[in-house]
Amino acid sequence: MTTHSTVERRVRAIFDDQPFMTILGATLERVVPGEVEIRLPCRAELTQHTGVMHAGVVTSIVDTACGAAAATVMETERDVVSVEFKINLLAPAVGDYLRAVGRVVRAGRTLTVCSGEVWAVSGDEARVVALMQATMMAVARVQG
Amino acid sequence: MTTHSTVERRVRAIFDDQPFMTILGATLERVVPGEVEIRLPCRAELTQHTGVMHAGVVTSIVDTACGAAAATVMETERDVVSVEFKINLLAPAVGDYLRAVGRVVRAGRTLTVCSGEVWAVSGDEARVVALMQATMMAVARVQG
Amino acid sequence: MTTHSTVERRVRAIFDDQPFMTILGATLERVVPGEVEIRLPCRAELTQHTGVMHAGVVTSIVDTACGAAAATVMETERDVVSVEFKINLLAPAVGDYLRAVGRVVRAGRTLTVCSGEVWAVSGDEARVVALMQATMMAVARVQG
Amino acid sequence: MTTHSTVERRVRAIFDDQPFMTILGATLERVVPGEVEIRLPCRAELTQHTGVMHAGVVTSIVDTACGAAAATVMETERDVVSVEFKINLLAPAVGDYLRAVGRVVRAGRTLTVCSGEVWAVSGDEARVVALMQATMMAVARVQG
């Protein structure tokens, strides 16, 4: 039987093995079956020309949150890859930090559909800045 | 009259003003009215857990290429922001470098629709690894 | 002041003026500010080759529900058009009838982002068969 | 060996078996490996409240064209279903008829990615009114 902590350990291992998340400065905040949260402190290096966090940064953390959420409900010996996703950028991503939450909407044997949200948090205020709909696929594990 | 080189100078100024593109190591390879190409050398820091370039990296450069392509056809005193985009990841993004090409499909007064492709290049071989469809919006310029 | 019943009357007028909804046999079930529900009895004429309701039918009713939801929060003298949408088909659309629900996620002056769901209902059972993320735009009213 | 005419016969059988295409009045114009074209005469019954062809109608024919294009490159004993798609509505869909073209961008064993276009044709003039990016899946054939 898979316990929640086993799931968390497995997802955390996948996350820690992603150099790009380290470059961004993202951390894994919460892992429960079907839902994962990632946090990213805002900083100047990650902005685009208008001074807000680059859409690619916003996308990177919520794609990762969705993929990790899919991984929580997949067979343990499979790997997860993003098939495709769509994101709406709703408001400028500015604040102290971003919170990306990925949730499983429907888990299938091969494909898992997830929805994701990104919140920009400034002090006590938070607002949704992006909305994602993503398709993840379980594939044979790549040997490290 | 706007000459091509004026367009290129304007888009290059926008690109150079994006710290996140510098972090990634992306360079602006080509700017013509309606089309922009960005190049990104592959390196370990930008990978995900399976060893390929992170989907967020692939997305970041093609979103930027689409936004820059939209900027080439917009009024010079407006700024461009990504409204939304959808990307299909077609194959693992591995190679010597990635080429992201953004093209304007339809330019409107407010909204401009672009399509983008990302190619992974290894020596003499190149293959499409991602396909994007994006909506960009012209907004009042943010003061720097 | 706009009352809810005014909103409902306005959205109902738009809906009743869509010949394609009549062809499909769709009805407007519920209109509240920010949310609209449409119902469609399943019938053989609307199926695709595998016997389930055609993806285009599923899309048509949830796009209409999202557009109508956007209309509930727009200025009364504007018209709404679909800019773009993305839909995931999660399960075969079979049952007694389909319920499409459109909700406003973020209302802007020009663009309104909506999310939509389609449920297939069979007797006492219901399940989500599709998930949509859509961008609607307020435009100058077209004269009839 | 599969000849082109065998492919066309198979796709035509799938198309003819879709009651919803008959309701719309759509016809299969062209089938070649990797590309399918559908034609739909514009008529008042298929419009939305602003007098243009309903976005759901536009979507229905280009989704069908993409699915049929995917079918041309799939193993003959499999069925095709739409996993998801995204469409941008670029201009009002008005004219004598619509032409929807679906093309395979990448054919995989399970998933096939397609791009689609819809053109509105009026006399000698044609313009692109919609752009689609779609993911199709090969599934075990449903018994009729």
In order of start, what are the domains of chain A with their CATH numbers? 4-140 (3.10.129.10)
Chain C nearest-CA distance from B125, in A, is 33
Among D57, D105, D84, smallest CA distance to A85 is for D84
Give the percent of chain A with pLDDT over 70: 95
Which residues of chain D lie closer than 8 angstroms to A113, CB-CB?
84
User: Which strand ranges, in their side-by-side order, compose the sheet holding C125-140?
Assistant: C27-32, C35-41, C97-107, C111-122, C125-140, C78-89, D78-89, D125-140, D111-122, D97-107, D35-41, D27-32
Mean pLDDT, residues A81-108 taken together: 97
Mean pLDDT, residues B105-122 taken together: 97
Task: Give the nearest partner residue to C133 out of A91, A131, A135, using CB atoms.
Answer: A131
Q: What is the ipTM of this complex?
A: 0.94
What pLDDT score does A144 carry? Answer: 46
What pLDDT score does D144 carry? Answer: 46
Burial of C75 (0-12, 13-18, 19+ CB in 10 A): exposed
Contact C135 B110 (CB under 8 A): no
Q: How many CA atoms within 13 Å lie on the side-chain side of D40? A: 33
Task: Give the nearest partner residue to A90 out of C91, C106, C131, using CB atoms.
Answer: C106
Chain A: residue whose CA lies nearest to B86? A86
Contact C86 A133 (CB under 8 A): yes
Chain B: residue whose CA lies nearest to D136? B88
Q: How far apart are the first and last CA of chain D?
A: 26
Task: Give the nearest partner residue to B50 out of A23, A46, A142, using CB atoms.
Answer: A142
Among B144, B118, B140, smallest CA distance to B129 is for B118
Q: Name C125's bridge partners.
A: C122
Mean pLDDT of all residues in chain B? 93
Listed as ranges, residues in chain C with pLDDT below 50 are 144
Chain C nearest-CA distance from D33, in A, is 20
Chain B nearest-CA distance from A3, in A, is 23
What pLDDT score does C144 carry? Answer: 46
> How far is residue C99's CA from residue C104's CA, in Å, rounded to a whole number?
17
> How far is residue B6's CA from residue B4's CA, in Å, rounded to a whole number?
5
Q: What is the pLDDT of residues B23-41, one digit of tens each?
A: 999 999 999 999 999 999 9
Q: Name B135's bridge partners.
A: B84, B113
Which of C62, C109, C133, C135 is the best residue to mutate to test the A interface, defined by the most A CB atoms within 10 Å of its own CB?
C133
What pLDDT score does C104 carry? Answer: 98
Q: What is the pLDDT of residues B79-112, one digit of tens each?
A: 899 999 999 999 999 999 999 999 999 999 999 9
Q: What are phi and psi of C118, to 5 degrees?
A: -120, 130
Tokens of B141: 């310029």
Q: Name D127's bridge partners.
A: D120
What pLDDT score does B77 carry? Answer: 83
> How far is residue B14's CA from residue A46's CA, in Å, rounded to a whole number?
15
Listed as ranges, residues in chain D with pLDDT below 70 are 1-4, 142-144
Contact A86 D86 (CB under 8 A): yes
Who's near A143: CB < 8 A, 6+ residues apart? Answer: none
Q: How far apart are the first and last CA of chain B?
A: 26
**Does residue C19 contact residue D45 with C-beta atoms inside 8 Å?**
yes
B51: left (phi over 0), alpha (psi -120 to 50) or beta: left
Tokens of B142: 């943010």
> How far is residue A47's CA from residue A45's CA, in Å, rounded to a whole number?
6
Which residues of chain A lie closer than 8 angstroms to D136, CB-CB?
none
Q: Which amino acid is at B37?
A: E
Which of B52, B59, B62 is the best residue to mutate to test the A interface, defined by the most A CB atoms within 10 Å of its own CB?
B59
Look at residue A69 and give its three-state secondary structure: helix
Statement: residue A1 has pLDDT above 90: no
Statement: residue B3 has pLDDT above 90: no
Contact C88 A113 (CB under 8 A): yes
Chain B nearest-CA distance from D59, in A, is 16
Interface chains of chain D (3 or more CB pairs under 8 Å):
A, B, C
Statement: residue A120 has pLDDT above 60: yes
> How far is residue D66's CA from residue B77's CA, in Å, rounded to a whole number?
39
Contact B83 C137 (CB under 8 A): no
Contact B44 A20 (CB under 8 A): no
**Does residue A40 contact residue A64 with C-beta atoms inside 8 Å?**
no
Question: Sign of torsion, CA B13 B14 B18 B23?
Answer: negative
Task: Give the nearest partner residue to B84 out of C84, C110, C137, using CB atoms.
Answer: C84
Chain A: residue whose CA lies nearest to D133? A84
Interface B:D, Cβ pairs < 8 A: 32
Statement: residue A4 has pLDDT above 80: no
Task: Give the nearest partner residue to B64 out of A17, A44, A56, using CB atoms.
Answer: A56
Chain D nearest-CA distance from C90, in A, is 7
**Does residue A88 contact residue C135 with C-beta atoms inside 8 Å?**
yes
> How far is residue A97's CA from residue A76's CA, in Å, rounded to a whole number?
31
> How far is residue C11's CA from residue C28's CA, in Å, rounded to a whole number?
9
> How far is residue D133's CA from residue D138's CA, in Å, rounded to a whole number?
17
Who's near D33: CB < 8 A, 6+ residues apart? Answer: D4, D7, D72, D73
